[in-house]
Chains A and B, each alone.
Chain A
Amino acid sequence: MSTIKEYLTANHGHCDELFANMEDAVANSIESAKEAYEEFAKDTERHFQMEERVMFLEFEQKTGMTQGPTAMMRHEHAQMRNLIAEMGAAIEAKDKDKFFGKSETLMILMQQHNMKEEQMLYTMAQQHLSAESDRIVEMMQSMIVE
């Protein structure tokens, strides 16, 4: 089974793919892009929750750091959720310019965020939680999105 770091890093790549699909769909025709948008929004939300409800909790419990890096990552998740919602609204309003303005911002924010997680948080999580790595990955895989 993949480690926490491998699993979540691969999941970032998966969300990036869906992001590219969504932009492609909007570029082709914003009227029929809703499905691609929803697929991206759904899987990205799932990624956030896998972290917030499983991995971050385990990490916080193990290290005792609840106000540290995970708090900042949660804050950035909130920023991204806002942008994703605004992109949905732009699709509803069929406003391509607004959509791409938001998606460009989201892309950079998301990649900055991913770099920080992959570079630091996942590495740390893997070190602290290596003994429970399989269990945590399994919990993330079987988690039901709220």
Chain B
Amino acid sequence: MDFDGLSVDQAPPISAPVRFFLTAPLFAVLAGVLILFSDASVLSSRFSTESIVITHAITIGFLSFVMFGALVQMLPVLAGVRVSRVGLVSKISYIFMLFGTLFMIFGLWLNISKLILAAALFLGVGFLALIIPMLLAFKNVVNVTASIRAMITALVFAFLITLIGMHLLASYGIGKFSASHLLFANIHSVWAIFGFAGILIIGVAFHVLPMFYVAPRFKQFCKKRVVWLIVSGLLLWLVLNIFMESYATAAKIWIALFFWAFSTTVYLKLNARRRKVSDVTVWYWRSAAVFMTLGTFAWSINDFFDERYIVIVAILIGGGFIFSIMSGMLYKIVPFLVWFHLNAKGYMSIPTMNDMINKKLAIIQYILFLISLIGFIISFFISALLPLFALTFMASMLILEYNVIGPVLIYMKIIKTKPDFDMSMFTMKVEN
């Protein structure tokens, strides 16, 4: 029995998650800059280089950075397992992901094939350096819950999409595309959105909503079956996509149905929550549920319009659902980590979580984000408006960065002072 997750000194150092969290909004700002300098008509095609670059500035630079930061932090708590040498592993992964993402963005944008090849390598190392140790850590789980099954499933999808992603990116690097390039690109994107991010969010929501908002628990049926129903949909979609493409829509509708059901459930559970106090994180969850409902609907019918609206689907699901939830989570997790690590080090007079982030600024950030999302959809039809919403998006992300860096600066200031208590007696190594 490994009890390491229960001890403070075995919790990952604060720097492990926080460096991911502080970098993420900066990539989103960079994405905003790239949107500003792009031609709207080029961005309406999902296979244009500009679209691919901007999508990955968001999906890797923001979403994956936040997800990995959160996984590093939450694995010991949610699953009671510890990634061995988590401090070192997360640092290596971070450095490779950081440079990998930058190489990918600038390599593709400026068409420098060596940089693109380096990006494929760096991103592969960065992702796998965390995914594999995390998957290995799960073999020590004593009590396998629905959340843990979902996390393992999500990481298996993450592993597969990393390999496919490396292959796709390397193809751009050498300038040779296999006959199944488009098929691989489809698998990569659908599995990344629904298999990795989607299932991870569902798994974490099982815990987070009842616990932090005192919402009613999810039904056993939902907890036990929904992940497998989605996985079976994703596998069916793969098979149909390869052998009977014209029927793939059926599998899409199957997957969409369960994500729609999940979104509705989230919304209803938030309505029925016992903890009535409302903050920006509740609003992020709510808008995520609404956008996902629209997104699953748009994705299902998109096939009947020759996939013309895939960019709108991406904005609704990637931006409205996944991005929203990640942003909301940052508002809870960063100030808490600062409080938790200072408290564990013996500091008693720490600003409260509400003192660390200005609530009004958080709401302004949220509203600007919503305006940007809706604006991006409008810009799909009226392209002249795109620069305006690129600017509101950048403003929103700069405020997000300001909001998450604030608590970290408080941490850095307090840690330089002397603690109120000597806590060394509590930092013993727990026996196995």
Contacts and interface: CB of A to CB of B under 8 A. Distances in A.
A144 B231 CA distance: 50
A29 to B, nearest CB: 14
Interface in A69-98: 69, 71-73, 75, 79, 82, 97-98
Contacts of A101: 351-355
Contacts of A75: 8, 426
A119 B354 contact: no
Interface string B3-39: 1011110000000000000000000000000000000
Given A20-B214, A72-B8, A121-B6, A105 B276 contact: no
B211 A115 contact: yes
Residue of B142, B143, B352 with highest tally of chain A CB at under 10 A: B352
Given A23-B277, A67-B428, A123 B212 contact: no
Nearest to B430: A68
B431 A65 contact: yes
Nearest to A12: B211
B145 A119 contact: yes
B354 A104 contact: yes
B77 A112 contact: yes
B406 to A, nearest CB: 14
Interface residues of A, number: 38
Contact of B142 (A67, A98, A124): A124
Contact of A104 (B77, B211, B348, B352): B352
A interface majority secondary structure: helix
Interface string B339-354: 1100100001001111
A23 B5 CA distance: 30
Given A17-B274, A101-B355, A107 B212 contact: yes
B29 to A, nearest CB: 28
B78 to A, nearest CB: 6
Interface string B36-78: 0000000000000000000000000000000000000000011
A1 interface: no
Interface string A22-65: 01100100000000000000000000000000000000000001
A109 interface: yes
Interface in B140-197: 142-143, 145
Contacts of A107: 212, 275
Interface residues of B, number: 37
A23 B275 contact: yes
B277 A100 contact: yes
Contact of A16 (B214, B277, B336, B426): B214
A67 B181 CA distance: 56
Interface string A97-141: 110111011011101101110011101100000000000000000
Residue of B6, B207, B351 with highest tally of chain A CB at under 10 A: B6
A65 B7 CA distance: 14
Nearest to B11: A112
Contact of A108 (B3, B80, B275, B336): B336
A69 B3 contact: yes
B91 interface: no
Given A101-B354, A115-B78, 6 more contacts: A16-B214, A72-B6, A72-B8, A109-B339, A115-B77, A120-B3
7 contacts: A20-B276, A23-B276, A27-B277, A72-B6, A100-B354, A109-B339, A120-B6
Interface of A: 16-17, 19-21, 23-24, 27, 65, 67-69, 71-73, 75, 79, 82, 97-98, 100-102, 104-105, 107-109, 111-112, 114-116, 119-121, 123-124
* 8 closest residue pairs by CB, A with B: A101-B352, A101-B354, A20-B274, A120-B80, A111-B211, A69-B6, A20-B275, A123-B143
